[in-house]
Structure 1
Amino acid sequence: MVFGSLSVQDDKAIPVFAPPYVSQEPVFFSGMTIIAISYRVQASQIQHLVPQELELEDQPIMTSLFIHYGTSTAGEYNEYVHTVRVKYNNETYDYSIVLVLDNDSAIFAGREIFGYPKIFGRVNFHPSAGSRVTMGNVERPAGRSLVDFEFAPKAPLDMSPGEATPPKVLNLRVIPSTDPATPASREFVAVDMQFDFSERWSGEGSLKFNKGFASTPWANLEVVSYVGSWMGKSKAVLDNKVERFPL
């Protein structure tokens, strides 16, 4: 009889002999293309997906981000980010409802470390559709479109410091308990991802949600009005300097 020789003392994700991500180092991104479309919805359409500790306007601002990561610590991939503007402890955040992507390293790291509600799906970009319009969609499962979008650029935007800085992102991080008598570990995690834009463009964006599926309640939305849209080229850094609020 012999014992195993694998050390489990290092702070590594499982399987520790081939961790899917590095947990104690910043995550770097470059070659990013971001299309952001912000809009208002009725609070009644979204409040059942938002924790009761968070405050919403009667018609909160939501933002749909369609992102291509050209190169990153987690590899190359596309991602859809679905957020709603909230207040918590008198601070404004974009609360993460769901993120859809098809990169397991990014999914595992985002969920386990930062509490991003990342799920498997497919995000398609069609930047050259025979016109000035960039189009794309979000599929979950692959083959079933839940969100379709288009964006037409208009003019370059001012690159002054702070002009492109969004609110911090707030995630609900939950670690379930194996003991039914012991509550899950719950906390809000405020994440401040640092973006460095090389260019940003204003434009006209629109989207359409494919409603009615029980498994995707986050897509049951009707846009009341559009707030604004932009496209940007960027690099970014996501590190472990976060704020945690135990619940």
Structure 2
Amino acid sequence: MDAHDIRRRAFAMPLTSPAYPPGPYRFVDREYLIITYRTDPDRLRALVPEPLRIDEPLVKYEFIRMPDSTGFGDYTESGQVIPVTLDGRRGNYTHCMFLDDEAPIAAGREIWGFPKKLASPRLRVEADTLVATLDYGPVRVATATMGYKHRAADVEAMRASFDVPNFLLKVIPHVDGTPRICELVEYPLVDVTVKGAWTGPGALSLAPHALAPVAELPVLEVVSATHILADLTLGLGAVAHDYLA
């Protein structure tokens, strides 16, 4: 295999059997449970990288069920997303993510810099309650509940909420262990269709864990609970800030 063949074929590792196919990546019937809560402002500021800024000490704890995703199949993820601003633009910074499928872990980390780790999240309906859990190994790390479809939400407002920029901190080491890439990445969600949205009473419990430290941002007050069903495409990214420049 010569250098031309390598350049032509190389888009992901391993070269001869990539962990994921080329995009774009389309998601159908993507189901969200989002618990928005207030947390400790000092702890939050300590975890949000500059030049991002926070206006309020809010965190969105998300569980996302993806039964039909191009190239990735059927999986579930969970994590913390923080409302931020960059140069006056409101957006969201993804602080951590846990999911149960190797292909989107590899693609998310390598392409965009999603902070993904392997774990066992679940999102399901139990009688009159939407129930979501995150287990890291045998340990229960997060539990979220919401009254199932208690009130219809404003679909257009939910649709507009997908239009804000999303930010990630992408870190890839050099072969000597020093940083090769360290940058703030911005990416969009595009071709979004919101099929349904609901609100209702919600609750969230987070437990301390050494390797899944979601409880570092403690729940002080639950602000809202939202349930969304949508189709969307995960857009490619752009570098918003290079920490090594």
**TM-score w.r.t. structure 1 length?**
0.87
The corresponding residue for 1:201 is 198
The 1-side partners of 2:47 and 2:213 are apart by 8
Q: Summarize deviations over 1:124-179 as a string: whole Å, max 9, x none.
A: 2231x2x31111211112x2111001011312122226654243211001111223
Identity %: 24
Work out which of the residue numbers 134, 145, 149 in structure 2 matches 1:150: 145
What's the offset of the Cα at 1:6?
A: 9.7
Unaligned runs of 5+ in 2: none
Are 2:185 and 1:189 aligned?
yes
SS of the residue corresponding to residue 234 of structure 1 reads strand
Q: What is the CA RMSD across the aligned residues, in angstroms?
A: 2.2
SS of the residue corresponding to residue 16 of structure 2 reads coil
Within 5 Å, which residues of 2 pair with 1:145-184? Answer: 145-152=140-147, 153-160=149-156, 163-166=159-162, 167-179=164-176, 183-184=179-180
Are 2:219 and 1:239 aligned?
no
Count of residues in Structure 1 that have an aligned counterpart in Structure 2: 238
CA gap of 1:4–1:242, structure 2 versus 1, over 3 A, is closer
What's the offset of the Cα at 1:47?
A: 2.9
CA gap of 1:89–1:17, structure 2 versus 1, over 3 A, is same
SS of the residue corresponding to residue 154 of structure 2 reads coil
- The one-letter code sitting in structure 1 at the alignment partner of 2:67 is G
More strand by share: 2
CA contact (8 A) 1:39 1:227 kept: yes
Q: Summarize deviations over 1:192-221 as a string: whole Å, max 9, x none.
A: 11331111111122110012x333333233
What's the offset of the Cα at 1:243?
A: 4.8
Q: Summarize deviations over 1:207-245 as a string: whole Å, max 9, x none.
A: 10012x333333233322222111111111012254532
Within 5 Å, which residues of 2 pair with 1:64-213? Answer: 64-73=61-70, 74-127=72-125, 129=126, 131-141=127-137, 143-152=138-147, 153-160=149-156, 163-166=159-162, 167-179=164-176, 183-194=179-190, 195-211=192-208, 213=209
The 2-side partners of 1:82 and 1:47 are apart by 14
What's the offset of the Cα at 1:40?
A: 1.1
The 2-side partners of 1:168 and 1:151 are apart by 27
- The one-letter code sitting in structure 2 at the alignment partner of 1:34 is Y
The 1-side partners of 2:38 and 2:158 are apart by 23
SS of the residue corresponding to residue 103 of structure 2 reads helix
Unaligned runs of 5+ in 1: none
More helix by share: 2
The 1-side partners of 2:171 and 2:29 are apart by 31
SS of the residue corresponding to residue 70 of structure 1 reads strand
The 2-side partners of 1:160 and 1:32 are apart by 17
Work out which of the residue numbers 47, 60, 63 in structure 1 matches 2:57: 60
CA contact (8 A) 2:83 2:93 kept: yes
The 2-side partners of 1:154 and 1:123 are apart by 24
SS of the residue corresponding to residue 108 of structure 2 reads helix
SS of the residue corresponding to residue 184 of structure 1 reads strand
The corresponding residue for 1:222 is 218
The 2-side partners of 1:246 and 1:145 are apart by 36
The 2-side partners of 1:238 and 1:32 are apart by 12
- The one-letter code sitting in structure 2 at the alignment partner of 1:105 is A
